[in-house]
Structure 1
Amino acid sequence: MSNNFSESEIDLLKEMINVGGGNVATSISEIFGKRVHMNVPFINQFTYEQVFQTVMPAEKFVKAVQIQVVGDLEGQFLFILDESGISRLDQAYKEILKKDKKLANSAVTELANILVNQFLNAIIQLFDLSAQSLVPILAEDMFGSLLSSAYLEEFQYDDLVWIFKNEFWIEEQKWESALYFVPHSGNLEKLITEINF
């Protein structure tokens, strides 16, 4: 992906992530019945080493739901949730986690599916785009392995990578989860050109 985005183009990307993330925050609030707010969207370009120093250690073990998106907005969403993030879920979910791991994993996958589709719907409506998500896939691995694989799958081979991330807070406590977007090579440049045309 090019690193030659103008300031106005970066602002457009932030607006897309902000609008989509706002829908996600609303959905989380409705699902758990708690106040939720979102930080200003995190958009920056890093080397992989900087990602793992700034965002999350490469060796940290996480659950991740991978959801492919096709259409005008093409790429892959990663919903990352670590053990402390799971502990922020309500007591009923934690009881499920203790009793039935398979059922708990299904719940995490469905939650990610809902959140990604809410994110997509907001962007589609705002920018008059056409896009759809594919079947979600749950993975458990180290953060570094999952993130690197996502970039390779989207043909992003550069030493520098863009990180598009939303963080959420539930009742003033940070929920240790985040939604990342890994764009398909060249997709954002094409999309920005079409939106600004």
Structure 2
Amino acid sequence: MAYSELELDGLKEVINIGGGHAATSISKLVNQKIDMHVPEISILSYHELYEQIIAADVEVHAVVSNIVGNYSGVILFVVSDDSADKLSELMLGAKTDDINVKMSAVSELTNIISNSFLSAIGNLLNVELVSALPVIQDDYFGAVISSIYMALDQYDEQIMVIRNEFTYSEEKLDASLFLIPETGVLEQILKSLGI
């Protein structure tokens, strides 16, 4: 299904509200100001995803969280090795070379982001949404997406791609947040927004 500019703007506004809540939650946790901006939102097919966002053969750290509540789907947070280093240092207050500690910190950050997003969106749409405990995967991006899609074959063939930009202490890094909705979820959200 194709979405109009008005519909995409409506979805972006919902995501920006969620991002604001997530940034506030992270700021309190790390005791410094964190800004989160959503410069881009796209709804793409899997083929377009590999062509435009991340190639299938790029190695990534991926954190997968199932959405539980009135709407179903998966939130996928993907970062490069460099971004994982910066995010873990933000969470821990110091650098670490221990990959398990690093990914545990990124996983906790993802849990905060996912639940802050979902809580804000749930409040806006008057529905209950929470994130299940995140699961970490280190693999090729294509393998991560394929495993999610195959495990959840009732899910939509469209992915909402949200480009998140974190800013803190003059550090800026990009992370990709993907919403893989159950069929019809995006339409329900738009209907709730009156679009």
Q: Normalization by structure 2: what TM-score?
A: 0.81
- Look up the SS of the partner of 1:94 in the other structure: coil
Indicate if the aligned counterparts of 1:82 and 1:176 stay in contact, CA closer than 8 A: no
Could you say which residue in structure 2 is the equivalent of 1:163? 161
For 1:67 and 1:139, locate their aligned partners in 2 and report how far apart those are by CA, in whole Å: 11
Instruction: Tell me the SS of whatever aligns to 2:27.
Output: helix
Match of 2:82 among 78, 81, 84: 84
State the AA in 2 paired with 1:164: I
Distance 1:125 1:47, change over 3 A: closer
Which one is further off, 60-69 or 5-14? 5-14
Out of 34, 37, 43, which is 2:41 matched to? Answer: 43
1:84 and 1:104, CA in 2 relative to 1: closer, same or farther beyond 3 A? closer
Give the % identical residues. Answer: 34
Point out where structure 1 has 5 or more consecutive residues left out of the alignment: none
1:94 to 2:92 alignment: no
Q: More relative contact order in 1 or in 2 (CA 8 Å, sep 6+)?
A: 1
C-alpha change, 1:181 and 1:165, in structure 2 (3 Å) is farther
Alignment partner for residue 66 of structure 2, among 61, 65, 68?
68
Match of 1:137 in 2: 135
Residue in structure 2 matching 1:150, options 148, 161, 167? 148
Equivalent residues, number: 191
Residue 34 of structure 1 and its aligned partner are, at CA, apart by 4.0
TM-score under structure 1 normalisation? 0.80
Contact 1:84–1:176, Cα closer than 8 Å, also in 2: no
The C-alpha deviation readout for 1:87-125, integer Å capped at 9, x for no partner, is 224275422xx2x43333322222211121111111122
